[in-house]
Structure 1
Amino acid sequence: MMLNSSLFLLLRLLLIAFATTAATWINVGLQHVPQLETAQLMEAYEVGASTICTGLKGLTQGQGKLCQLSVDHMPSVAKGAKIGVMECQHQFHDRRWNCSTVKDESVFGPVLKIASRETAFVHAITAAGVMYSISRSCRDGQLSSCGCSRGSRPKELNRDWIWGGCGDNLEYGYKFTQAFVDAKEREKKYKKHTRELGRNLMNLRNNEAGRRAVMRRSKVNCKCHGVSGSCSLITCWEQLAPFREIGDFLLDKYDGAIEVKITRRGRLSIKDPTFSAPTPNDLIYLDDSPNYCLPNKTLGSLGTQGRVCNRTSSGMDGCNLLCCGRGYNTQKSTLRERCECKFHWCCFVECKTCVKSIDIHTCK
């Protein structure tokens, strides 16, 4: 007897989730990685960079080797992973899956074993975070092997303006992040037409989408020079956008993520031929997302019970959608806040304390 599609999907997700949840390099962002000064770098290599890198949990063999070659980059990698996780949690704060982390080396738990659009976003935002951090560290002189950007002059830039201020080094950030983050996917070889190969290619594509998001949102920044603001000289350079803009951009890509499948030739193709083929800027996924409404430790879902919702919103943060139709509880709460503040000359601010009652709605 043939299994119906929903039962088949459930069995598939269970098989995925029962697999051992492996450690991930993103875990570096949750560890303490000391910032090494230039004078300390030689000492670090003398005592053995391998000692420092061995102490970092979650690195694959290839990433460990890159760590030893560029041990001064690791604080920036850690910072990039951390801002990627924090941005993920900001972007999904009001959604059923809120990018929650667990207390082990997998960081996100079994949920990343599923090749869903949420997994696609995590790969993209953390790759973007590392590229962002490395590019900025180059500009700030924190890394021994790079400095200010040497990017080419934009064609549309005014010919009288000087190109070459100390910009963020996106080119170096891209290349190092590609080598480090993608190392995990490039260390193993998989047979054609296997799920493992499909997942491998999916991760690489989403890593690339994250890096491209950083480049697409970067902009040219210019500054005037001259006596009393005469602006007799203008210097321009390439500058990273605020990381929030990159997160917003990737969330749009998440909402429009494209479902793909692995072909017999070992390539990815769109599952629904009526859709356009994904570009390198798009996020892709292989599996439908699990049901995040109810807690399921096997699948890594915490459920939405007890989550605060917005009774008047029709969006994802609304009680109807966030609570998955189960309804919500309402509790009165007293809020104390400063109000009616006045500035007194000179020099202090005097405020009153206002008390108001508010309703807090939580999912059943």
Structure 2
Amino acid sequence: MIRKVSLLQLCSVEHYAPLLYGYLLCVAFLEEKAYGVPTTPPEKLTQGCSPELLHLRSHRHFHVLCRSQPAIAVAAYEGMQDAMNQCKEQMRFQLWDCSQIITVLQDPPILRLGTRESAYLWALSSAGAAWGVATACSQGWLPDCSCSGRDELKQNWEWGGCSYGVQFGIITSRKLLTRSTTSRSPLRKLEKHNLKAGRLAVKKTLISSCKCHGVSGSCDQKTCWKKTAPLSTIVQHITNKMHKARRLPDANSPAKNAELVYMEDSPDPCRSIRITNRVCNWRNETSSQGDCGLLCCGRGSKVSHELISYQCDCQFVWCCHLKCNTCLRHRWVSTCN
């Protein structure tokens, strides 16, 4: 079967990129624009907050922002969701893999514990919110976010683009997720610390981008700006921090701002999470990652057969269409009992 798919359809929010991260990849592919030049915003940003966000009570600032500046609230929320999906991808070979978590805004039970995992979730959410807002700002999708560069010259280059969007995203993340409470409970102190560590992860992974303005492609003059790294890079940075997280004897113990901290041991994942139907690797002789014996907690696994259809042999047809065949492939899938 041969189909024609336009590039705009391929990169639409519905088809190729249901999440903000995927949509941005498509934008970069379709049109090469300087950082800070407006592009068409995804539909989610123009529709306003969902009922879930509008009726949120656990984080009052989210609720307020949804009514005054909904596009910013949605950008932050989508960034948090994308961070959770990145977690599921990067932790897929671990017993605990974020699969039970939809969003920290729902106050899942795991956040009532001062564990390594809860520290990780707070940092991820904080970084995701900052990344989502900074990225939307840099694309010109947020009317309340100014995205003009500085005119300050330095030797043969100048700062431009949308470095401002990064700081705007970090400030927004802090305001949205840091609870305005007078509670001095150890959990609240850990939460606040790990939220800050997540925002710092966005700063630590910033990358410089430059555009040359010289004659005939030379780089005698260039404009440079700071921008957020891909979300996968930020999440990997935080994942590394989680593996090195430091246990504190109490919430008042000193800790570096950039490190994740926790106070109590994690519960046994085999008792605290649902593993039925989790995909694993059966008889993996080359790597122990994702081994069914580990991920299924000794409860055994089953193997099933799947027939998967996918687009293949794609070719560009002048000028803006892809012509693809539909192919089938067989796959054996192992899942936990």
TM-score, structure 1 normalization: 0.66
Aligned to 2:27: none
Query: Which of the residues 251, 276, 287 maps onto 1:305?
Result: 276
Taking the aligned partners of 2:55 and 2:108, their CA distance within structure 1 comes to 19
Q: Following superposition of structure 1 onto structure 2, how do residues 31-110 of structure 1 map, counting pairs within 5 Å? A: 35=46, 55-61=54-60, 63-65=62-64, 70-101=69-100, 107=106, 109-110=108-109
Taking the aligned partners of 1:327 and 1:63, their CA distance within structure 2 comes to 43
CA deviation digits over 1:109-154, x for unaligned, max 9?
322222211111111111111111222233333444432266898x
Query: Which of the residues 177, 181, 190 maps onto 1:187?
Result: 181
Q: Which SS does the other structure have where 1:329 is aligned?
A: strand
Given that 1:116 and 1:289 are in contact with CA atoms closer than 8 Å, whether structure 2 keeps it comes out as yes
Deviation at 1:171, TM superposition (A): 1.9
Q: Which SS does the other structure have where 1:175 is aligned?
A: helix
Given that 1:87 and 1:125 are in contact with CA atoms closer than 8 Å, whether structure 2 keeps it comes out as no
Taking the aligned partners of 1:149 and 1:134, their CA distance within structure 2 comes to 16
Aligned to 2:29: none
Taking the aligned partners of 1:79 and 1:281, their CA distance within structure 2 comes to 24
Query: Which of the residues 268, 279, 282 maps onto 1:291?
Result: 268
Q: Following superposition of structure 1 onto structure 2, how do residues 131-280 of structure 1 map, counting pairs within 5 Å? A: 131-148=130-147, 159-167=155-163, 169-182=165-178, 184=179, 186-190=180-184, 197-262=185-250, 267-268=252-253, 278-280=255-257
Taking the aligned partners of 1:34 and 1:237, their CA distance within structure 2 comes to 25
Taking the aligned partners of 1:250 and 1:105, their CA distance within structure 2 comes to 16
Structure number with higher relative contact order (C-alpha < 8 Å, ≥ 6 residues apart):
2
Taking the aligned partners of 2:329 and 2:172, their CA distance within structure 1 comes to 53
* Alpha-carbon distance change, 325 to 141 in structure 1, aligned in 2, over 3 angstroms: same
Q: Does 1:282 align with 2:259?
A: yes
Deviation at 1:200, TM superposition (A): 0.8
Q: Which SS does the other structure have where 1:321 is aligned?
A: helix
Number of residue-to-residue matches in the alignment: 290
Deviation at 1:189, TM superposition (A): 2.4
Taking the aligned partners of 2:315 and 2:138, their CA distance within structure 1 comes to 41
Given that 1:330 and 1:362 are in contact with CA atoms closer than 8 Å, whether structure 2 keeps it comes out as yes
Given that 1:150 and 1:169 are in contact with CA atoms closer than 8 Å, whether structure 2 keeps it comes out as no
Aligned to 1:193: none
Q: Which SS does the other structure have where 1:251 is aligned?
A: helix
Query: Which of the residues 299, 304, 329 maps onto 2:302?
Result: 329
Deviation at 1:350, TM superposition (A): 7.9
Taking the aligned partners of 1:95 and 1:338, their CA distance within structure 2 comes to 31
Taking the aligned partners of 1:142 and 1:173, their CA distance within structure 2 comes to 13
Taking the aligned partners of 1:36 and 1:351, their CA distance within structure 2 comes to 35
Taking the aligned partners of 1:225 and 1:236, their CA distance within structure 2 comes to 11
Q: Which SS does the other structure have where 2:270 is aligned?
A: coil
Tell me, which stretches of 5 or more residues in structure 2 are unaligned? Answer: 1-42
Q: Percent identity?
A: 26
Given that 1:137 and 1:143 are in contact with CA atoms closer than 8 Å, whether structure 2 keeps it comes out as yes
Q: Does 1:360 align with 2:333?
A: yes
Deviation at 1:91, TM superposition (A): 2.4
TM-score, structure 2 normalization: 0.71
Q: Which SS does the other structure have where 1:57 is aligned?
A: coil
Deviation at 1:359, TM superposition (A): 3.6
Taking the aligned partners of 1:362 and 1:81, their CA distance within structure 2 comes to 28
Taking the aligned partners of 2:103 and 2:239, their CA distance within structure 1 comes to 26
Q: Does 1:320 align with 2:314?
A: no
Taking the aligned partners of 1:53 and 1:349, their CA distance within structure 2 comes to 40
* Alpha-carbon distance change, 316 to 209 in structure 1, aligned in 2, over 3 angstroms: farther
